[in-house]
Amino acid sequence: MTSANGYYIGTQEEAENYDNIVTQGEGYNGTTTRWAEPRQHPTQLDLYSIIKHTSYDDTMQWVEVLDETWDNQDTLN
């Protein structure tokens, strides 16, 4: 998976907090109600990824591309 902005990887709480910061900062409402949905890793259940917004940095691990382990659809909940 690739994104022009890359991705942050962290805990569920960190990813949700990042989404809240971006959502509030951008003033999303109406048809767009949040920045992004954090995505749980299919086998490392304590890891979540979220797309990075170009205007908001965070201390979570940043990666340009999610590796192939994030695409393991057979083990998704």
pTM, two decimals, is: 0.86
- Summarize pLDDT for 23-50 with one digit per residue, the tens: 999 999 888 899 999 999 999 999 999 9
Domain ranges for the chain, please list them: 2-68
**In this predicted structure, what is the pLDDT of residue 12?**
98
> pLDDT, tens digit, for every residue of 47-72?
999 999 999 999 999 999 999 999 97
**pLDDT value of residue 3:** 56
Show the DSSP H helices in the chain as ranges: 12-26
Tokens matching residue 26:
């951008």
Residue 75 scores a pLDDT above 80: no
